[in-house]
Amino acid sequence: MDTSETVAMAEGAASSSGGPLRVLGRANSFNVRKVLWVCDEIGIAYTREDFGRGFKPTNTPEFLRLNLTGQVPVVIDGDRVMRESNTIVRYLAAKHRATDLYPEDLGQRQAVEQWMDWVAYDITHALRGAFLGGQLKEAPYDHPWYVQQGQKELIHVIGLLDRHLAANGPYVMGDRFTIADIPMGLVVNRWFMISNLERPHYAAIADYYELMTERAGFRKHGRNGLP
């Protein structure tokens, strides 16, 4: 069944071609959800087309011409074809001058981006074992040693985030929501959705999860029943 969708926000901004942004990728993808969430936060009109696991394939010559890695999301803004979800989120926030989410000051931008990149590297590495291997049982990540190491590392990095939020929160950047909270919010949602993980109680993480849930975009694309 085709579950592609068109979303036109009431105050949405069109892409540079005059039409809505095109988002290629299944709506249950962790990385696609980042893009959909930032679009809803800013009010960007977009259409979404189902590609990826269980939907249209990403290994066809046509798709690989858009993204040589064969991954989702691919986002098309007029003549610009983009991959890598964190960079797409930053591009959209900058293009639409969402300075409340992504400050113009370079030092403040660097502070936002370092948290996003931490998710992309350290936390994602831990999730390969803890989630892909431990919960989804995907090879080659399902080796017992790799799962154990991933779970151990995930507990460690979420503990670091808990310490940061306890001292500097309630948001990643302090007293305001920014695009740093988009990948981080999805990580925290996944943290609570992993079923076979003995989670320590991190009070600041629990508070952050409830704070994120106050946002319509997080309820729609984050805490929506999907890990």
Residue 198 lies in a domain: yes
- Spatial distance between the Cα atoms of 189 and 198, rounded to a whole number of angstroms: 15
Mean pLDDT by runs of 10 across the 227 residues of the chain is 49 56 98 98 98 97 98 98 98 98 98 98 98 97 98 98 98 98 98 96 98 98 97
pLDDT attached to residue 19: 82
Q: How far is CA 196 from CA 62, 135, 141, 221, in A?
A: 39, 7, 15, 23
> How many domains are there within the chain?
2
Q: What is the pLDDT of residue 21?
A: 98
Beta bridge partners of 24: 49, 74
Indicate if 75 and 145 belong to the same structural domain.
no
Quick one: tokens of 190? 């996944």
91 & 111 share domain: no
Task: Say if CB 191 and CB 158 are below 8 A apart.
Answer: yes
Is 204 domain-assigned? yes
> Which residues span the domain enclosing 133?
106-218
Same domain, 126 and 27: no
pLDDT of residue 10: 34
**CATH number of the domain that 144 lies in?**
1.20.1050.10
Same domain, 199 and 124: yes
| 3 state DSSP class of 82 | strand
8 A C-beta contact, residue 61 and residue 74? no
How high is the pLDDT of residue 8? 39
Q: Are 19 and 122 contained in the same domain? A: no
* This prediction's pTM: 0.92
pLDDT of the residue at 1 = 39
Q: Residue 141: what pLDDT?
A: 97
The answer to whether residues 91 and 110 belong to one domain is no
